[in-house]
Structure 1
Amino acid sequence: MTEEFNENMITEINEGDKVTGTVQKIEDKHVVVQIEGAKYDGIIPISQLTSLHIEKAEEAVSVGDEIEAFVTKIEDKEEDGHYILSKRKLDEVQSFDSLREKFENNETLEAEVKEVVKGGLVVDVGLRGFIPASLISTEYIEDFSDYQGRQLTLKIEELDQEKNRVILNHKAIEEEENKAKRAESLKSLEAGSIVDGKVARITNFGAFVNIGNVDGLVHISQITHDRLEKVEDALEIGQDVKVKILNVDEDSERISLSIKDALPGPFETIDEQFKVGDIVEGKVMRLAAFGAFVEIAKGLQGLVHISQISHEHIANPADVLEAGQTVRVKILDINKEDERIGLSIKATEEQSEDFDTSYLNSSQQNDDAPTLGDVFGDKFKNLKL
């Protein structure tokens, strides 16, 4: 009767059932689980404990832990029978249900990075989740080892239960955070202020400078007071610069910056280099119908009016000057307020005489030379004075 009573108390367990048990013993490659009311104990192979890679079973469970698992196989032997269990499969089913709900509602989740592998990161989301390298960060990262053990906020990029595939995205979280930071930074920027920045990118039309959480454009014309052919001649990526904020457009998130306006202008220090009356060398930069523009120092160009080019009358400056030519000029005027310099080329040259006066300097007079009286004497006789 006792045996019959005991048999009646045994819970019938079939393949596919979900059972609950307590970890009794941990071996190297499996775990022994006692299932209350069951005919046999359950065995969970190490590969069926978790979807993550582990070397030893104690990395996933401890003696005394209560575990739920699916029955995948029954080895019915009178003396040595047992149930083969899979905690991994149950975790995957339960996790997929939870993940699908988050995916459909566009919710985020938290997960710890368990492994750094080639091509990305492995995280524990109840099952094995993968973050490809391209979806880890908005910044370029060469070594992902610093992510080991970190807790990350993630979005679900792809979910496929049949293929047991979970692709996660951390980059999208960073993009949203950066967008919020940019919006906050844009509101705090004030046109006219001078701030520190770092050159982030260089293009043929200018440079993008990072000024915190946002980048602004320094047009090539705003880099230096000098004429600049190539941006690379004045800037390099990573260079620290001071910039003046010219304009902020919050709607388009566009910021116009100037490096040259954050620097002392050449006219601010012109008194330290030049004064009216100085004669200096300069370079003809361009010609106009009314004169020539001559550069006497970087960022300092003055006008030589056509009337100041030569003592002789000229119709066109191009008749006597050409771009790139080096000339000597005299500074006639400096107007710091209007940033204008008046120059003269002819003031550096002596005026040539229109007639020969060499005879006035002769130390010897030719006695034989005819006098004015000799030449005009007879004509004066008939004049009535």
Structure 2
Amino acid sequence: MVEETNNSLSLTDLKTLSVGDVVKAKVTKVEDKQALVDVGYKYDGLIPISELSGLHVEKVSDVVNVGDEFEVKVTKLNDEKEELVVSKKAITVEKAWDELAGKMERGDIIEAAVKEVVKGGLVVDVGLRGFIPASMVERHFVEDFSDYIGRTLTLKVVEMDKEKNKVILSHKAVLEDEAKQGKAQVLEGLTPGQVLEGTVQRLTDFGVFVDIGGVDGLVHVSELAWNHVDKPSDVVKEGDKVQVKVLKVDKENERISLSIKETQPGPYAQAAGQFKKGDIVAGTVKRLASFGAFVEIAPGVEGLVHISQIANRRVATPGEVLKEGQEVTVKILDLNPAEQRISLSIRALDEEKEEKKEQASRREHQQFVQENNQQGMGITLGDLFGDLKDKFK
């Protein structure tokens, strides 16, 4: 029941009526295009179908039934013709304007049912005809609104113009407020070092934006993988579920730095299971420095060949012996994956080669002597050079 207004007249006290009066009415008859109501006057009033609601009405029975009571406004009165026209819409629309103006000022959220899908958006019942532009329905693009009919949406009043009978509402504004509140909660709960699951939202030249529960964080291209990445699409695509580690949280500017590579075993951790001290491996000279050369022995794994370990002779600069891109064989002197440090040597291999040559030469000499002795020759160095020694006495 709608409360009685100050200028409402009760059925018992009513003596006269004037256009503009607001009175209580009771439905006595429902027809196709109109309803008859008892307003306590000497004859019944008539409500045309167009004056039942601020929205389009197909059938009078969709809005009122016999016995319903509500307030109406007198819009036309002719006693000579016993013609009394009243409006239910005028009351509901007037009150709706006042209520909506207050809700708009306060930023209140209201609920309304979708009545129609029209060109450019949706029509809702807010006590009068309210319009939701297509761009204000959702945060994402919607191609077909047909399944919105009958749905109740949460809305904010964003624009009102009584003279033009225009009320613009937005469901998107409510969703964005909710997203903002959710984002604030997520940001508050984030701390560096956390590992979370996220969804890849979009790719850029400089990295990837990942949704981690309503808020996007950036995985810089350098944090996508341990190996060098030319472009993000080489590693991930939109919609991928990924594990990310929180590197930094800037709550004030709502910026989050994430890493995918930090959730995966690093190349040096993998190297711990692949190599050991004393191994001889092939590598590529990646960089030269004054103190030595950095050699890559596995993707993303570099070890240092100190300048003293480049050759078995004195070297003034690594460039005297090595050049970038050169393939070399090195020996692992020390391996420390935790500190990402590997010591390598080329000199050690050269020295081992020389030692092996000397050992081989000694073995050949020993074999020669043994073979001659077995033949009974009994040849010794003294035998070979004894006569010469006597000549120089």
Compute the displacement of 1:211 (Å): 1.7
Distance 2:26 2:252 in 1: 60
Compute the displacement of 1:312 (Å): 7.1
Partner of 2:220: 219
Distance 1:270 1:64 in 2: 86
Structure 1: runs of 5 or more not aligned: 1-8, 354-359, 362-376
2:27 counterpart (23, 27, 43): 23
Q: Is residue 299 of structure 1 aligned with residue 303 of structure 2?
A: no
Checking the alignment, whether the CA contact within 8 Å between 1:10 and 1:38 is kept in structure 2 is no
Distance 2:325 2:36 in 1: 92
1:149 counterpart SS class: coil
1:225 counterpart SS class: coil
1:73 counterpart (69, 73, 76): 76
Deviates more, 1:218-227 or 1:148-157: 148-157
Compute the displacement of 1:88 (Å): 2.0
Checking the alignment, whether the CA contact within 8 Å between 1:154 and 1:173 is kept in structure 2 is yes
Compute the displacement of 1:164 (Å): 0.7
1:267 counterpart SS class: helix
Distance 1:249 1:168 in 2: 34
Compute the displacement of 1:260 (Å): 1.6
1:52 counterpart (51, 55, 79): 55
1:58 counterpart SS class: helix
Q: 1:28 to 1:186 in 2, by over 3 A?
A: same
1:269 counterpart SS class: helix
2:266 counterpart SS class: coil
Distance 1:325 1:70 in 2: 96
Partner of 1:101: 102
Partner of 1:34: 38
Checking the alignment, whether the CA contact within 8 Å between 2:285 and 2:327 is kept in structure 1 is yes
Cα-to-partner distance string for 1:146-204 (whole Å, 9 max, x where unaligned): 54434333322111111111112233322332233223223322322222122223333
Partner of 2:236: 235
Checking the alignment, whether the CA contact within 8 Å between 1:32 and 1:43 is kept in structure 2 is yes
Greater helix percent: which structure? Answer: 2
Distance 1:291 1:133 in 2: 66
Cα-to-partner distance string for 1:339-378 (whole Å, 9 max, x where unaligned): 1223345666767x9xxxxxx99xxxxxxxxxxxxxxx9x
**Correspondence 1:1-385 to 2 at 5 A:** 11-39=15-43, 41-74=44-77, 78=81, 81-145=82-146, 147-309=148-310, 316-318=317-319, 322-345=323-346
2:249 counterpart SS class: strand
Q: What is the percent sequence identity of the aligned residues?
A: 51
Compute the displacement of 1:212 (Å): 1.4
Cα-to-partner distance string for 1:247-304 (whole Å, 9 max, x where unaligned): 3333333332222221122222223322334444434433333333232222212223
Checking the alignment, whether the CA contact within 8 Å between 2:135 and 2:141 is kept in structure 1 is no
1:186 counterpart SS class: helix
Q: 1:299 to 1:140 in 2, by over 3 A?
A: farther
Distance 1:126 1:236 in 2: 47
Partner of 1:6: none
Distance 1:37 1:216 in 2: 70
Q: Which amino acid in structure 2 is aligned with residue 70 of structure 1?
A: K
Q: Which amino acid in structure 1 is aligned with residue 38 of structure 2?
A: Q
TM-score, reference length from structure 2: 0.75
Compute the displacement of 1:96 (Å): 0.8
1:137 counterpart SS class: coil
Distance 1:231 1:326 in 2: 30
Checking the alignment, whether the CA contact within 8 Å between 2:272 and 2:337 is kept in structure 1 is no
Distance 1:161 1:11 in 2: 34
Distance 2:114 2:311 in 1: 80
Distance 1:104 1:19 in 2: 30
Compute the displacement of 1:56 (Å): 1.7
Compute the displacement of 1:139 (Å): 4.2
Q: 1:271 to 1:99 in 2, by over 3 A?
A: closer
Partner of 1:368: none
Q: 1:144 to 1:281 in 2, by over 3 A?
A: farther
TM-score, reference length from structure 1: 0.77
Cα-to-partner distance string for 1:109-140 (whole Å, 9 max, x where unaligned): 33233334343332211101122233233344
Deviates more, 1:161-170 or 1:174-183: 174-183
Structure 2: runs of 5 or more not aligned: 1-12, 358-363, 366-387
Partner of 1:365: none
Checking the alignment, whether the CA contact within 8 Å between 1:11 and 1:38 is kept in structure 2 is no
2:268 counterpart SS class: coil
Distance 1:324 1:232 in 2: 27
Cα-to-partner distance string for 1:226-255 (whole Å, 9 max, x where unaligned): 122322222222211112222333333333
